[in-house]
Structure 1
Amino acid sequence: MSAPDALLAAVPRTASSGIRALARLGFAAIGVVYVLMGVLALLAAFGQRAGAHADKEEAVQHLQDLPAGSVLLGLIALGLLGYIAWRFTQAIRDTESKGSGAKGLAVRLWYVCSGLFYSGLALYAGKLALNGRAEKGGDSSQSLTAKVLAWPGGDWLLIVLGLVVIGIGLFQGYRAFSGRLKNDVDGQHLTAKQARLVFRAGQVGVTARGVVVAIIGYFVVQAGRQSHAGAVGSTDEAFDLLAAMGPLALGAVAAGLLAYGLYSLVQAKYPLLRGV
């Protein structure tokens, strides 16, 4: 097969196949980002690099130094946009059959929020790919927090929002050990031993991700309690807090995020994509 024919063969033939391709690319992009985050944080835990900074933006920055780094960054940006598209598809087309009741609409809204969670990183990776530089989003979260604090009752709103974020983090731990992860990966292509290994990696990874989310929620609560935008923090500050607890705490969460990245890569290869 010639190169043009191979490229044409790779082009999705239907809308559904296009959505499936975008979703799989999205899982792969998320997997790469979390693997890099986990590796950077593990290096910090073992004293191999200064600081514990290992947020998503720094993780994608390291792709710049690799051969064809701009191409890799472009693929990460495209993949994250693909993940956002898949999450919106889940919400709009109700691919998971959640229905239009209050609970179903809440879950479908969660799909939208889950997709939008990566929108800033997709923009950041895209800017790096095109321009070779981009501003990190840490200051923007503090600016947004300052605006909320200026509203009447803004401090209470931040406290409530922080508690919701903490709840989301705790829910990740519930999700990890409730058996729901078995609905994420198509295990029919795996042996029983491989399926167990993938499931355990997912449990460890999702739990570690929940810990980081809960810490970020704690920062939001503190920003509301103190009426101080500088108290808010992102993944970067969450790793700093874990580092302050000691290398064991940081290393455990870092290993978990690495496991989550590997789990996402397996999900990219063997996804369960319903309704498309």
Structure 2
Amino acid sequence: MSTADTLLAAVPRSPSAGIKALARLGFAAIGVVYVLMGVLALLAALSRDHGVQADKEAAVKHLQDLPAGNLLLGLIAVGLLGYIIWRFTQAIRDTESQGSGAKGWSFRLWYICSGLFYSGLALYAGRLALSGHADEGTDASKSLAATILGWPSGDWLLIFLGLVTIGIGLFQGYRAYSHKLQSDVDGQDLTGTQQRLVYRAAQVGVTARGVVVSLIGYFFVEAGWQSRAAEAGSTNEALGLLAGMGPLVLGVVAAGLVLYGLYSLVQARYPILHGL
């Protein structure tokens, strides 16, 4: 039995009901992380302190200082795990009815990558919850870049990865302004004004996230072009680059990340989960 099958088998109640609950908890966990990350970036913009850590790990670590911090960290870890399970379920069951053609398999691959994107953060939050500390270790982006550069034609592969990542970031902007976000939230219980507010928040938030993802892709391209893993960077480096453009630029993107987090919390409350 595969790891995915083992996790899915452990879901309580009916599989569909359990996975729905995990998906909603996952959206909530992502929402909390992005709100905190955006707030940290906003504080950095207001204080003009380019050295402030404002990535996902820093956001999660700040939960330790809150009442019942370990419990909150545990819920974040479980929520992110739930999101991963839901994304794998989308890929395995083809819940979005994308089919078995090239387009369908590309979407399934995207679902898997989207889930795995939060796996390191889930592990980090879990370790903090259980032991009160966790080694942040080497930057994951730099580690990945170093590994790829060790392969034959690794520099070109890294440039390709960077271009794909930039494409994903640009695709976020396309989703934000092509009315596709309207299918992410069940707005039946929301008034017309509330629906418009949620949609506008989603547009700004998804665009801000796309900007950060595109910058991470740019760092990969630079690392491949210069054959130096040190040129790769993650969210914190992306926000640092934006800070170098001025506090206003960083502040706008940071506010967008807060809105993305709030949008994820709305998704947790009013999700649309196909095929479950």
1:119-158 to 2 correspondence within 5 Å? 119-158=119-158
CA distance, structure 2, for counterparts of residue 126 and residue 48 of structure 1 = 32
Q: Does the alignment pair 1:238 with 2:238?
A: yes
Provide the residue aligned with 1:73 in structure 2. 73
Contact kept, 8 Å, 1:87 with 1:114, in 2: the verdict is yes
Q: Which residue of 2 aligns with 1:6?
A: none
Displacement after TM superposition at 1:142 (Å): 1.8
Q: Which moved more, 1:39-48 or 1:259-268?
A: 39-48
Q: How does 1:43-54 map onto structure 2 within 5 Å?
A: 43-47=43-47, 51-54=51-54
In 1: Cα distance, 2:73 partner to 2:54 partner: 17
8 A contact 1:45–1:52 mirrored in 2:
no
The residue number in structure 2 matching 1:274 is 274
- What does 1:220-231 correspond to in 2, within 5 Å? 220-231=220-231
- Alignment correspondent of 1:7: none
Show CA shifts across 1:195-240 (max 9, x none): 0000000000000000000000000000001110100000010111
Q: Which residue type is aligned with residue 177 of structure 1?
A: Y
1:14 maps to a residue whose letter is S
1:141 Cα deviation after fit: 3.0
Q: How does 1:24-35 map to 2 (within 5 A)?
A: 24-35=24-35
> What displacement does 1:133 show?
1.1
| SS in structure 2 at match of 1:67 | coil
The structural deviation recorded for 1:81 is 0.3
Letter in 2 for 1:44: A
Q: CA deviation at 1:12?
A: 5.4
Question: In 2, distance between residues paired with 1:137 and 1:176?
Answer: 34
Q: Distance in 1 between matches of 2:102 and 2:24?
A: 29
Q: In structure 1, what is the equivalent of residue 187 of structure 2? A: 187
Equivalent residues of 1:37, 1:55 under 8 A apart = yes
Aligned mates of 1:33, 1:138 — CA distance in 2: 20
The percentage of aligned residue pairs carrying the same residue is 74
Distance 1:138 1:46 in 2: 28
Q: Any unmatched runs of 5+ in structure 1?
A: 1-10
For the residues of structure 2 that align with 1:81 and 1:261, how far apart are their CA atoms? 17
Map 1:3-42 onto structure 2 (within 5 A): 13-42=13-42
For the structure 1 residues 48 and 65, does the alpha-carbon distance in structure 2 shift closer, same or farther, using more than 3 Å as the test? Answer: farther
Whole-Å Cα distance in 1 between the matches of residues 42 and 243 of structure 2?
11
1:96 paired with 2:96, answer yes
Alpha-carbon deviation of 1:149?
A: 1.1
CA RMSD between the two structures: 1.3
Gaps of 5+ in 2: 1-10
Aligned residues of 1:53 and 1:239 also touching (Cα < 8 A): no
Q: Find the aligned partners of 1:188 and 1:137 in 2 and give their Cα distance.
A: 45
1:187 partner SS: coil
Q: Partners in 1 of 2:75 and 2:149 — Cα distance?
A: 37
Q: Deviations over 1:115-167 (max 9, x none)?
A: 11000000000011011111225434323322221222110100011000000
TM-score with structure 2 setting the length: 0.94
- Are the counterparts in 2 of residues 25 and 79 from structure 1 also a CA contact under 8 Å? yes
How much does 1:50 deviate? 6.3
Q: TM-score, normalised by structure 1?
A: 0.94
Mapped to 1, the partners of 2:137 and 2:115 lie a distance apart of 17
**Residue 200 (structure 2) aligns with:** 200
Query: Partner letter of residue 156 of structure 2?
Result: W
